[in-house]
Amino acid sequence: MAEPRSLTPAEIVAELDRYIVGQDAAKRAVAIALRNRWRRFRVAPELRDEVMPKNIILVGPTGVGKTEIARRLARLAHAPFVKVEASKFTEVGYVGRDVDSMIRDLMEQGVQLVREEQQRAVQGRAQEMAEERLLDLLLPANAQQGTAGFSNDRGGTREKLRGMLRAGGLDDRMVELDVQERAQGNMQIFGAQGMEEMGINLQEMLGNLPFGKKTKKRKLRVSEARRVLEQQEAEKLVDNDAVVREALERVQSSGIVFIDEIDKVVGPGGIGGQHGPDVSRGGVQRDLLPLVEGSTVNTKYGPVKTDHVLFIAAGAFHVAKVSDLLPELQGRFPIRVELEPLTQADLVRILTQPKNAISKQYAALLATEGVELSFDDTGVQELARVAQVMNDRAQNIGARRLHTVVERVLEEVSFHADSLRGRSIRVDAPYVREKLDKILQDEDLSRYIL
């Protein structure tokens, strides 16, 4: 059984801090949950199955980092991870996706994760085999004469070609390669539970039939043909049955499902008195109950038990409250963390501190056209102030407002960047006011533009 990555909670929080400003309580909660996966593997076998994951529900306004925490957690976990939108699911019997499909998606992610790991493990051998196949294409077996001035000694010619191939001297030569293409059907079945899975299986079955596989001859450059052949050889070296077994173990023992926008399947006042589309929303909650508690879902790779899958739910809960969830579902999410709305100081930090900060992104984009863009401290403060004013004046959309404001400020520079090559643009407070004051003074206009 593959053991989860052994990052300590402090290391997990430190990694999340590189991309997400604030929200320490949420970071600590997910860090502890992730570390508990690793701890469970060190518990005595007779107790291991009794240690259930403590599911988490993140509550907070939009744009404060809930989804970003999920994205970064997926990269840290090195475990099967799937992020789903609760609003995409409907109750069994309604047209749409049933909740079991999130476990099928998780299993797909697990298989893909393990397959990529095993392909990386055999990459060296695959490269050797791809090189031999490339040499066979460059020097066919029925060649009677030497190639391009080489001697007629076939072995010597092959080795000279090998040397040229490794040195990159043959990268622009064209070779003809058989590339297998699967017939792609547009079959999609919605309806009762399990029908969606039937559609997936039918597509796979048709693709595996003789008439479902097509081999097409394509002329490729040697550099591109090498990549195609390495992929083909790596796939041959990987045991698909072993991949599925390993993926099943990982999904069942360390899989993580992040359910975003869970408040969208909650009606104000709870289940009682629901009508219209709210009836299906309540049905989604009821269908989630057995998944979160622990049940078995049939997938094309076999049955998957969800007993030890960690579920993290998130929602803004502007209209409904967490207490409007089914009481049974509330009980399945024992850890509840409230994320704080962002302050102006937080927006300043978001603009400059994270590894992928907005200011760094725009500077890198304009640098590709030879424009040097820099943000003065006063400019950053003014951008954050404007974003905070607009969040207070209209809907509070958190850090997402920064993208709107910065885009508006840099619109002119971005449009004329090709003619500004070699210029330096400094974004300070007067520059920001010059671009935005007219809009901010007209409150009605600002609602539509910012």
Q: List pLDDT tens digits, range 278-291.
A: 556 677 888 888 88
Taking residue 264's Cβ as centre, other Cβ atoms within 10 Å add up to 18
107 in the same domain as 23: yes
Sign of CA dihedral 175, 177, 183, 184: negative
200 in the same domain as 58: no
**Beta partners for 302?**
299
Q: Which of 364, 329, 133 is nearest to 228 (CA)?
A: 133
138 in the same domain as 70: no
Residue 447 inside a domain? The answer is no
Residue 262 inside a domain? The answer is yes
Per-residue model confidence (pLDDT) at position 397 = 84
Domain boundary pick from 237, 268, 297: 237
What does the pLDDT look like over 58-103, one tens digit per residue? 998 888 888 888 888 878 878 888 988 888 876 554 555 778 888 9
Q: Angle between the 344-352 and 400-409 helix axes, to the nearest 10 degrees?
A: 70
* d(C-alpha 114, C-alpha 119), whole Å: 9
What does the pLDDT look like over 212-250, one tens digit per residue? 556 777 777 777 778 888 888 888 888 888 999 999 999
Per-residue model confidence (pLDDT) at position 372 = 92
Give how many domains the chain has, as a whole number.
3
326 in the same domain as 351: no
Share of the chain above pLDDT 70, in %: 81
Q: What is the CATH number of the domain that holds 418?
A: 1.10.8.60
DSSP code at position 262: G
The pTM of the full predicted model, rounded to 2 decimals, is 0.76
Residue 433 inside a domain? The answer is yes
**Cα atoms in the 13 Å half-sphere on the side-chain side of 76:** 28
Range of the domain at 195: 123-237
Lowest mean pLDDT among 2-16, 287-301, 302-316: 2-16
Residue 444 inside a domain? The answer is no
Per-residue model confidence (pLDDT) at position 282 = 72
350 in the same domain as 334: no
CA dihedral 435, 437, 438, 442 (to 10 degrees): 140
Residue 1 inside a domain? The answer is no
What does the pLDDT look like over 124-157, one tens digit per residue? 888 888 878 888 777 775 554 444 444 445 667 7
Q: Within 356-415, where are the H helices? A: 358-367, 377-393, 400-409, 411-415
Average pLDDT, the chain: 80
Per-residue model confidence (pLDDT) at position 443 = 59
Cβ neighbors of 423 (< 8 A, separation 6 or more) are: 371, 372
Domain boundary pick from 213, 237, 261: 237
292 in the same domain as 220: no
Burial of 56 from C-beta contacts in 10 A (0-12 / 13-18 / 19+): buried
334 in the same domain as 233: no
228 in the same domain as 130: yes
Per-residue model confidence (pLDDT) at position 147 = 45
* Beta strands at 56-59 and 335-338: parallel, antiparallel or unpaired: parallel
What does the pLDDT look like over 12-55, one tens digit per residue? 999 898 888 888 899 999 899 888 888 888 888 888 888 888 89
Residue 391 inside a domain? The answer is yes
355 in the same domain as 275: no
282 in the same domain as 138: no
67 in the same domain as 46: yes
Residue 102 inside a domain? The answer is yes
Residue 344 has pLDDT above 60, yes or no: yes
Residue 88 inside a domain? The answer is yes
135 in the same domain as 221: yes
Domain boundary pick from 338, 364, 381: 338
Residues 352 and 375: beta-carbon distance below 8 Å? yes
Q: Angle between the 240-254 and 24-40 helix axes, to the nearest 10 degrees?
A: 120
Residue 370 has pLDDT above 60, yes or no: yes
Lowest mean pLDDT among 73-82, 204-213, 428-437: 204-213
